[in-house]
Amino acid sequence: MNQSSQNFTTDLRIAFVQARWHADIIEQAGKGFAAEISRSTNGTGRIDVFDLPGAFEIPLQARMLAKTGRYDAIAGCAFVVDGGIYRHEFVAQTVLDALMQAQMETDTPMLSIVLTPHHFHESEKHQTFFMEHFKVKGAEAAEACMQVLETRERIRAAA
C-alpha cells in the first residue's frame, strides 16, 4: 500500500448492522468480517456493531448511519430463511434493493451478507454448516469492503 492507503486504513471505521434472527449463525459472519478487517488494517480498523430485530430493518439503519458521515462503509448481515410462508425471497430482495438505494443516495459503500438458503432446518448438521458458511461469507465481504474502499481512495487521490 502507498502512504495514503496506510493513513486510510488507520482511520477506517465500518458499521456492521446485523439482524438477530439466528444470532448464533449471524455472529459467525461478524467474526469472519472482523478478523479480515483486522488483518487488512493491521488491527487499526474500527467496526461498530448494531443489532436489529430482523433483516427488514437493516436498510433504514444503514442509511441513517451513512448520513452521519462517520462510516467509510456499512455491512448488513442477515439469515433470511423460509419459515413456511414464502416471503423470505421477497424480504431478502427488498433488503438488497434498499441497501443499493441507500448506497447510491449516501455515496457510502454498502455490503451485503444477507443470505437466503434454499433449504434450512433446525438440525445440528445445518446449524454447523451455516455457521461455517457465514464465517467465510463475512471474511469475503470484508475483502470486498477493503477492495471497494481502496479503489475509492485511489479515485479521491487522483482527483
pTM of the prediction?
Answer: 0.87
Q: What is the pLDDT of residues 68-100, one digit of tens each?
A: 999 999 999 998 766 655 566 767 788 899 999
Give domain status of residue 2, yes or no. no
Give domain status of residue 4, yes or no. no
Segment among 46-50, 64-68, 153-157 with least mean pLDDT: 153-157
Question: Whole-angstrom Cα distance, residue 2 to residue 15?
Answer: 25
Give domain status of residue 6, yes or no. no
Give domain status of residue 1, yes or no. no
Catalytic residue list: 87
Give domain status of residue 5, yes or no. no
Q: What is the CATH number of the domain that holds 118?
A: 3.40.50.960
